[in-house]
Amino acid sequence: MINPRNPLWRFPGLFWVMVLFFAFLYVPIFVLVALSFNANQVATIWTGFSWDWYKGVLDNPNILRAAQNSLIVATAATLLSTLVAVAAAVGMTGRRFRGQNLFNGLVGLPLLVPEIVTAVASLLFFLAIGLQLGLLTVILAHTVFCIPFAYLPIRARLEGLDPRLAEAATDLYASPWHTFRRVTLPLLVPGIVSGAMLAFITSMDDFVITFFVAGAGATTLPVYIFGMIRTGITPEVNAISTLLLGVSVLLVALSFVVGQRGQAR
């Protein structure tokens, strides 16, 4: 009989399976980062260390324009999706109502639906209403897609709050709005910040939805990278990918730290 107190890695062969699993996930990423410093124009042949490709990325106006579009879209989508997520999370707390479970499922549906389905549906919707494809359509599509990422940390934070705090404010004759603004909202800030960071990085990294709903002049950084690799992988592509990876890792780490600090309070 297996002793449940034994660590899993003590099972025969499981430790090496775990090592191979993480190596399969992360070794290609480490190789990409290393090759971004390759002095050779051929990305797969190492000839020496160089910062030239990063300098080339920062001096390329097309890359900078795509990065600017990504920042505009991600910032707008984050603000809109976070506002909707806060309203939805606050509305879902407290008394239960008919259809609450259905509403919860609808909020999280974009996480379950294949992204290609969301992209095609968004494209058809914009074409049906006659909305010209551009940055606006990308922002709208990203906002819908990012709502669950902002909603889940906020909802988790709300469920962890002591309900007696709001009850005490009510006993002191505070209106629902003052209770929310003076009591609930300050305590909710860590969840809001964590959800906003997840929404931002999700929008920054998105390719599939953007590829379908972006019009002329609305090319974001992931779409630009895709266009570059169609002609071959160069160290410049590796450099852009490494910069994007660094931003993603930084924001995810900050989101985790903010969420942990919020739970500790």
For the chain, list the domains and their CATH numbers.
72-264 (1.10.3720.10)
Return the higher-pLDDT residue of 202 and 171.
202
Task: Check residue 210 and give its pLDDT.
Answer: 92
Query: Where is pLDDT greater, at 234 or 145?
Result: 145
Nearest CA among 114, 188, 111 for reference residue 148? 111
Is residue 2's pLDDT more than 50?
Answer: no
For residue range 195-246, what is the model confidence (pLDDT) as tens digits? 898 899 889 888 899 999 988 888 888 888 888 877 766 777 888 888 888 8
pLDDT score for 73: 93
Q: Say yes or no to pLDDT of 130 above 80.
A: yes
The amino acid present at 27, given as its one-letter code, is V
Local confidence band at 170 (pLDDT 50, 70, 90 cut-offs): confident
pLDDT digits (tens, 9 = 90+) for 36-49: 888 777 766 777 78
**b/e per residue, 3-32, with b = 16+ CB within 10 A?**
eeeeeeeeeeeeeeeeeeeeeeeeeeeeeb
> What sign does the CA torsion over 193, 66, 202, 55 have?
negative
The Cβ of residue 69 has, within 10 Å, a number of other Cβ atoms equal to 21
CA distance 67 to 79: 18
Token pair 């191979």 is found at 20
Q: 43-52, 60-69, 114-123, 164-173: which range is least confident on average?
A: 164-173
The closest of 263, 248, 212 to 33, measured between CA atoms, is 248
As a whole number, mean pLDDT of residues 50-55 equals: 83
Token digits of residue 6? 């034994």
Q: Left if phi > 0, otherwise alpha if psi is -120 to 50, otherwise beta: which for 8?
A: alpha
Task: Please report the pLDDT score of residue 154 as a whole number.
Answer: 87
- Tens of pLDDT along 88-118? 888 777 666 676 777 777 777 778 888 899 8
At residue 139, the pLDDT reads: 94
CA distance 224 to 122: 21
Q: Quick one: pLDDT at residue 209?
A: 92
Decide: pTM greater than 0.75.
yes
Contact yes or no for 214/139 (Cβ under 8 A): no
Per-residue model confidence (pLDDT) at position 1: 41
